[in-house]
Chains A and B, each alone.
Chain A
C-alpha cells in the first residue's frame, strides 16, 4: 500500500516537473515576441516606443540567457510568483487567477460530483433489464456525445433568448458588486444554473453509459454466478455488481478530469463565465503567455491534487490496493 502511494506520488512529482517544463518551454519557442504585442497595444509614439521596448524586455526578464530564464521560472514558482500578465499589464498573474478560481470551484465541483453520482445510479438503473436498456440508455449516449459548447448554446438560446427566463452571461448581474447579500447570492445562483446544467448533463451521460457497461460485465462475473447458484436474490447480486462497477468508475473520474477541464473551458466561454477556462481563452487570444502559463500550471496542480484525492478514495474502497496489490485497472 505504501508502495502503491510512493509510486503514485513519484509519478505525480515527475508529471508536475514535466508539465512545468513544457509549460515554460512552449511559448518561448513559438513565433512572435510578446513585448511587441504589448507595445502594439500601447499605441505609443514611435519615438518613445523604442525606450519603452527595451524597458519591458528587462522588466519581463527576457534579456537574460535562456537557461537563466528557466531557473528564474522555477525559483519564482516556489515563491508563488507566476509572473506578470501582458494582457492585463501590470497585474500579477497569480492575482488574476485567484480572482477566477472561486467561480471554477462553484461550477465544477458540484457538476462533477453530482453528475458522477447521478450518472452511476442512472446507469445501474438502465442495466436492469433489456427493455430499460433499450429505452433509457440511448439518452445517455446522446448526452455524452453532445459537444459541451453546443449544449450550452442550445440552453442559452432556449432559456436565455427565446423564453427569457434565465440569464446566460456572467457570474452575476452587471448591476451588482460582490457583496454578502441575498440579492447577490440569488443573482449568483441564477447565473450559475445554465452553465452548471450543461456541464452536468454531458458528464452525466458519460457516467451513466460507463456504469451501464461496467455493471453488465460484473453481473457476468463468477461471484455473481455463484451467488445465483446459492439462490441469492437479484437485489443482493446487483448491489455487489454496482459496488464493484463503481471502482473503475472512480479511476474513470481521474482519467476524465482532463476532458472535464476542456468541457468547463468551452462552457465558460459560451456563458462568458469568469472562470479559469475563460481566462485561458483570453490569454490565448491576447497572446499573454505568462497568464497562459499560470492558468496551465493551476489546472495541472488542480488535476494532480484531484488525482491524488481520487487515489486515496480508491484505496479506501478497494481492498485489493490495501493488500499491497496494485489497484490499477
Chain B
C-alpha cells in the first residue's frame, strides 16, 4: 500500500544516510574528568562574544581567564594585588604612575608592553566603550619606554580610578589597532588573543571550553599555575537543569541561585559552600526597595519610614531564601564595607522591623483608615493603593514581594505584588512610572562610592538613557555634592572617606530614598566530588571569591583556580 512503501523508502534513506555518515567514524573521546572543571552560573545563553569591552554578555572568563587587568582587587582584605602591572602610585594629586610587569606575553607570543596599556585606554576616545567616560577627567597618557606609563588627569577621581585599575582589561595593540570603532565596541572577537591562563578551545550551544595556557606569565613571575586543564562553562538552560547538574556532581562550581537548595546543603550531597552554615554565601550586592518619590504618598518621608518599619526582612531571609542571605543593615552597605558604616548614625536614625512603630508613624503623620476598608488613606483623604513590582519569573523576588505586601497590609498600607515582564519592569523604573520596586544593581566593589553614586545618581533627566540609578528620583543637591566629593577623596585617606560617608549616611537615613532589604549572595555551590581546595571561611583555607561572574575573576576568583587540586 502507498503509505507502507513510502515509510519503507524513508527508512531506507535514513539508514543509508547514517551509514554513509558513519562510514569513516573514529571513536571520539570526552574531556578527561580529573583534568576538567565544569562551571556554570554566568552564561544564561549560548556564548555570543569574547569582546572584553562588552561587559554585558561576553563569554564567561573573557576578562580574567583570557584578558587580564592591571591589578586584582581582594574585597575581603581590601587589597590591590599587582597583576599585569608591577606597581602603581600617585606621583602627584593629578599624575598616576604605572609600572607594567615585564615578561608578560600574549598567547600568540608577542610581548605585552606599556604600549598595549596606553592603546587600550586610548580606544575609549575613538569607540563607544565603558572607558569612554574616563576621558572626561583623564587628560593624556605619557608612555616612557616599554614598561612605564604616566596618567595625567584634568581632575583626579581617586575612587573611580582605583575601580578602573582592576576592571579594565588590557588588549593587544598589534591585533586591535587594525579594527574600526564598531568592531572594537561590538565585535564578537572570535578566537581571542589574551595574556591570561586560558585559551579558547571550543564552543557550542550549551557550553564553552577553555584550555590551559601552559606558558602563562604568572608561572615564572608569581610561581602560580592554574590546576584545571579544561574549563567547561555550561549554559544555564534552566534552574531545574543546573540544580540537577550540581546535585549529580556534574558541575564542580555553580554560581546560580538555586531555589530549594538550602535544605540540600545540609544533607548528603558532596556540596561545599564558602560558609559552612548560614548564610552559606558571601554577600555580592544589596537588594533594596526603590521608592518612587515623585508619587504621593511616597514623597512623604514619614510614609517611607512607616514602610521601612513594616517590612519583616528576617521573614524573607528565612522563608524565601532559607537563610542563604543576610538581612542588610540600615545603610545597605555590604559587609565588606563595614568599616565605613557609622554605627552612631544608624543607632539614632536607623529603622528595622517594628510593625507597632510603623502604625504609630502612620497615625502621627495623619494617615488613618477613613473609609474603614482596613487600609489607611493619605492625610488629604485620598486612597492609597500601591503596586510593588519585580520581573515575572524571578521566583525568589516574586516570593519576597509577596511577603513585603502582606507586611505592609498588616500595618494598613495597601500594597499589592505585581509581576510585569522584565522590560515592563525596566521601563517602569527608567521612566519613573512605578510605585515600589526591588533593585540590586550595585555589585561589590572597592569603594562605597559606586553604591552611593548609584542611589544618589544626580542626572535625573538622563536616567532613561544612562540607567545611572536613583530610580526613585530622589533630588538633593547636598547629597549629590557629597557623593562627588567622596569620589575625589584619595583611597588611602580612610578617615576622609569615613567623614564624607557618615554625612551621606545621615542624609540617607533621614530621608530614606531607598529601603535596604537584604544582601544577595555570591551564590557558589562547589562540588568536592572531583576537585578540592575550594575557598572557604575556615582558617587555613584560601579566602578567595568562588565566583565565575563577570568582574569577579579579577576579584581573586582567578587565584581560586591556582588553589584547586584534582581528587
By a beta-carbon cutoff of 8 Å, the part of chain A in contact with chain B is 31-34, 36-55, 59, 85, 87-91, 96, 99-100, 113, 117, 120, 161, 169-171, 173-185, 239, 243, 246, 269, 272, 274, 278, 282, 285-287, 316-317
Besides A176-B28, A181-B29, A183-B28, 17 more A-B contacts (Cβ < 8 Å) are A32-B421, A37-B423, A45-B133, A46-B462, A48-B132, A48-B133, A49-B466, A54-B465, A88-B45, A113-B10, A169-B237, A180-B24, A181-B28, A182-B22, A185-B22, A272-B238, A286-B422
Q: How far is the CB of A294 from chain B (nearest CB, A)?
A: 14
Given contacts A37-B423, A46-B467, A174-B207, contact A243 B430 (CB under 8 A): no
Q: How far is the CB of A235 from chain B (nearest CB, A)?
A: 13
Bound Cα distance from A47 to B133, whole angstroms: 5
Q: How many B residues touch the partner, as a band?
A: 35 or more
Q: How far is the CB of A321 from chain B (nearest CB, A)?
A: 15
Q: Determine whether B493 belongs to the interface, using a CB cutoff of 8 Å to chain A.
A: no
Residues in B whose Cβ lies below 8 Å from that of A96: 46
Residues in A whose Cβ lies below 8 Å from that of B457: 46
In the complex, which of the residues A45, A53, A120, A181 contacts B130, with contact meaning CB atoms closer than 8 Å? A45
Given contacts A32-B426, A33-B427, contact A170 B237 (CB under 8 A): yes
Contact with A along B456-484 (1 / 0, CB 8 A): 01010010111111000000000000000
Q: How far is the CB of B552 from chain A (nearest CB, A)?
A: 13
In the complex, which of the residues A34, A50, A173, A185 contacts B466, with contact meaning CB atoms closer than 8 Å? A50
Are A36 and B204 closer than 8 Å at their CB atoms?
no
Q: How far is the CB of B26 from chain A (nearest CB, A)?
A: 5
Are B423 and A287 closer than 8 Å at their CB atoms?
yes
Given contacts A44-B130, A47-B133, A169-B244, contact A36 B25 (CB under 8 A): no
Are B423 and A33 closer than 8 Å at their CB atoms?
yes
Are A36 and B128 closer than 8 Å at their CB atoms?
no
Interface residues of B in 130-144 (CB under 8 A from A): 130-133, 136
Given contacts A47-B133, A49-B468, A99-B205, contact A117 B128 (CB under 8 A): no
Bound Cα distance from A36 to B36, whole angstroms: 38
Q: Determine whether B27 belongs to the interface, using a CB cutoff of 8 Å to chain A.
A: yes
Interface residues of B in 409-457 (CB under 8 A from A): 421-424, 426-427, 430, 441, 443, 453, 457
Bound Cα distance from A194 to B192, whole angstroms: 38
Are B27 and A174 closer than 8 Å at their CB atoms?
no
Bound Cα distance from A120 to B381, whole angstroms: 69
Bound Cα distance from A94 to B443, whole angstroms: 34
Residues in A whose Cβ lies below 8 Å from that of B500: none
Looking at B54-62, B276-284, B312-320, the stretch in contact with chain A turns out to be B54-62
Residues in B whose Cβ lies below 8 Å from that of A49: 465-468
Residues in B whose Cβ lies below 8 Å from that of A36: 423, 426-427, 430, 464, 467
Residues in A whose Cβ lies below 8 Å from that of B234: 174
Are A169 and B467 closer than 8 Å at their CB atoms?
no
Are A38 and B209 closer than 8 Å at their CB atoms?
no
Are A182 and B28 closer than 8 Å at their CB atoms?
yes
In the complex, which of the residues B202, B205, B241, B468 contacts A169, with contact meaning CB atoms closer than 8 Å? B241
Bound Cα distance from A185 to B19, whole angstroms: 12
16 sampled A-B residue pairs with Cβ under 8 A: A33-B427, A37-B426, A48-B130, A49-B465, A53-B465, A90-B188, A100-B205, A169-B241, A170-B241, A177-B209, A180-B25, A180-B26, A181-B26, A274-B206, A285-B422, A316-B2
Are B422 and A37 closer than 8 Å at their CB atoms?
yes
In the complex, which of the residues B49, B56, B202, B250 contacts A41, with contact meaning CB atoms closer than 8 Å? B56
Are B459 and A46 closer than 8 Å at their CB atoms?
yes
Residues in B whose Cβ lies below 8 Å from that of A243: 1
Residues in B whose Cβ lies below 8 Å from that of A269: 238
Given contacts A41-B56, A44-B55, A184-B28, contact A175 B241 (CB under 8 A): no
Are A32 and B427 closer than 8 Å at their CB atoms?
yes
Are B209 and A287 closer than 8 Å at their CB atoms?
no
Residues in B whose Cβ lies below 8 Å from that of A176: 28, 30
In the complex, which of the residues A59, A91, A100 contacts B49, with contact meaning CB atoms closer than 8 Å? A91
Q: Determine whether B38 belongs to the interface, using a CB cutoff of 8 Å to chain A.
A: yes
Q: How far is the CB of A275 from chain B (nearest CB, A)?
A: 10
Are A42 and B57 closer than 8 Å at their CB atoms?
yes
Q: Determine whether B75 belongs to the interface, using a CB cutoff of 8 Å to chain A.
A: no
Chain B residue nearest to A180 in the complex (CB): B25
Q: Determine whether B7 belongs to the interface, using a CB cutoff of 8 Å to chain A.
A: yes
Most buried by A among B22, B33, B45: B45
Interface residues of B in 35-50 (CB under 8 A from A): 36, 38, 44-46, 48-49
Contact with A along B364-408 (1 / 0, CB 8 A): 000000000000000000000000000001000000000000000
Bound Cα distance from A89 to B187, whole angstroms: 9
Q: Determine whether B21 belongs to the interface, using a CB cutoff of 8 Å to chain A.
A: yes
Q: Determine whether B492 belongs to the interface, using a CB cutoff of 8 Å to chain A.
A: no
Q: How far is the CB of A185 from chain B (nearest CB, A)?
A: 7
Are A183 and B33 closer than 8 Å at their CB atoms?
no
Residues in B whose Cβ lies below 8 Å from that of A170: 206, 237, 241
Interface residues of B in 210-245 (CB under 8 A from A): 232, 234, 237-238, 241, 244-245
Are B424 and A51 closer than 8 Å at their CB atoms?
no
Q: How far is the CB of A327 from chain B (nearest CB, A)?
A: 16
Given contacts A49-B468, A272-B238, contact A88 B128 (CB under 8 A): no
Q: How far is the CB of A247 from chain B (nearest CB, A)?
A: 11
